[in-house]
Amino acid sequence: MYYQRTGFGFGGGLTPAVKNILFANGIIYLIRFLNVNLYLYLTNNFALHAYDVLFEFKIWQLVSYMFLHGDFWHIFFNMFIFWMFGNELEAEWGSKEFLKYYFICGIGAGVLNILLTPADPAYPGTVGASGAIYGIMVAYALRYPDRPVYIYFLFPVKVKYLVGFLFLISFFSTWNSQSDGIAHAAHLGGMVIGFVYIKYWNKRFKFKSFTSIFQQQKKKKNVFTQAEDEKVEYYRQKIDELLDKINRVGYLNLTNEEKELLEEGSKYLREHDNTDYN
């Protein structure tokens, strides 16, 4: 997808929902240094505890646990990965659909974690946005399966293989009786819920939404007779107009013709324009 003017892409500039979630997580994490007692209160009451949800009906924990993190590296890697994969999806779907998907994955991850952990008041709670973020990674892998990700900034791996590998780790680790302090069940839940939600959404409502782009693109006829440089300028202008509309109303509210023009223009610019694009 071509994002010359807005700067979106793999990582890229901050979209509204991504920015707000990063900000909220950062502020809550800083509380641990500003007011220890308040942070302990938040952890005791807003981390995810199976006992609290099932027997004390603290349902809010299914959402609030996503905004708490254990240490610096926990929040750093979660938010870094969220920034990497979330911006482009939000720019394409619109903030409303992106946030809905994010919280569905996070809540689904929490539900599976509750089902697979002891409902014991003494059992440690679960914190972190990893379940929701694993769901975001699944969506990104379905949308851009062949995009390279550089492991340790050195080794390129296609997103689909990385996410597949993470799924296997989460799946087998979930059923491992030895605890390593990582909520693998939440990771697995976020991935499964995300995948099922995307597939069900596409089948149930039959939208030509972001899931339709997972399929092989249709061949399009070239109906323009302008010279190549005029064509590049034409597509630049049209894509900028469509990106403005996406930022206002979301990708799903584009007409079929606009979606086809966006795909056609992006493909042409990838082949003929020297400006940066995805």
Pairing mode of beta strands 8-9, 148-151: unpaired
What's the confidence (pLDDT) of residue 203? 54
Query: For residues 262 and 87, what is the distance between their CA atoms, to the nearest angstrom?
Result: 18
Predicted TM-score (pTM) of this structure: 0.68
List residues bridging with 2 in a β-sheet: none
Residues in the chain: 278
Q: What is the pLDDT of residues 186-205, one digit of tens each?
A: 999 999 999 999 887 655 54
Q: What is the pLDDT of residues 218-266, one digit of tens each?
A: 444 444 444 566 777 777 888 888 887 877 777 777 788 888 888 887 7
Please name the fold of domain 8-205.
Rhomboid-like fold (1.20.1540)
Tokens representing 90 are 């939000």
User: Is residue 43 within 8 Å of 68, Cβ to Cβ?
Assistant: yes
Q: Please compute the mean of the pLDDT values over residues 143-159 and round it to a whole number.
A: 82
Confidence of residue 149 (pLDDT cuts 50, 70, 90): confident
The residue that leads in pLDDT, 163 or 278, is 163
What's the confidence (pLDDT) of residue 9? 44
Nearest to 3 by CA among 136, 234, 13: 13
Query: For residues 127 and 122, what is the distance between their CA atoms, to the nearest angstrom?
Result: 15
Tokens representing 97 are 């659909």
What's the confidence (pLDDT) of residue 168? 92
% of the chain with per-residue pLDDT over 90: 42
User: Is residue 82 within 8 Å of 22, Cβ to Cβ?
Assistant: yes
**Residue-range domain boundaries for the chain:** 8-205, 220-272
Q: Please compute the mean of the pLDDT values over residues 53-70 and round it to a whole number.
A: 94
